[in-house]
Amino acid sequence: MKKLTTLLLPLALLSTNALAVVDVEMKVSKLPKKVSKAHQQIAAKLADSKCTYVVNPVSDIRQNKDAISWKVNATGVQQWFNTVHQNVVAPLLPETTKDIVVEVTPKLNMLYTYNEQLNINGMAVSTVGYSINGKPAGQYHVRGFNSDSNWANGDSEFVGSAEHAAQHMITRILEKLPEICNNAESA
């Protein structure tokens, strides 16, 4: 019995250490070229439209504001969204004033990552409420997705996948703006 206890105790300690959750801060890094190009195209469409756009920063309304996977917590998520809004979203919006004002308020419902085969996938889900000329007009849901190779199962890979999914979600929010404007014009 003594030999069995001697053997099982170190294994139990190893298995509990493997379940430890790590906190990793989300930091805004350089956007991928694919995202930057998409944003330039969106900016051109917004400049040509007949609406003024107000895009509020994404607000994190998740119940557990840190967890993004079974092993990684992403801290600084709200700060990350605020920085992306200030440095990426706001400069894309035309500063001209037009008769129709479209305002969107995105709320982050989910941000998580998961392993699938040899990849780490990230998913970001937002509910976006919008108003036209100050009157609530509806809401829509947006998902952002990312899939990267899982090279080392590292904590930063999980956070990176979550960041890329969130970037994709923001791009999809912006892509919807001209459609909202066109619907407001025809109403």
* Claim: this prediction has a pTM higher than 0.75: yes
Confidence of residue 16 (pLDDT cuts 50, 70, 90): very low
Question: pLDDT (tens digit, 9 = 90+) per residue, 134-177?
Answer: 999 999 999 999 999 988 888 989 999 999 999 999 999 999 99
Q: What pLDDT was estimated at residue 2? A: 56
Residues 53-90 pLDDT 10s: 999 999 999 999 989 998 899 889 999 999 999 999 99
* DSSP secondary structure of the chain: -HHHHHHHHHHHHHHHHHT--EEEE----PPPHHHHHHHHHHHHHHHHSSEEEEEPPPEE--SSSSBSSSSEEEE-HHHHHHHHIIIIIHHHS-----SEEEEEEEEEEEEEEEEETTEEEEEEEEEEEEEETTEEEEEEEEEEEEEEE-SS--HHHHHHHHHHHHHHHHHHHHHHHHHHHHHHHH-
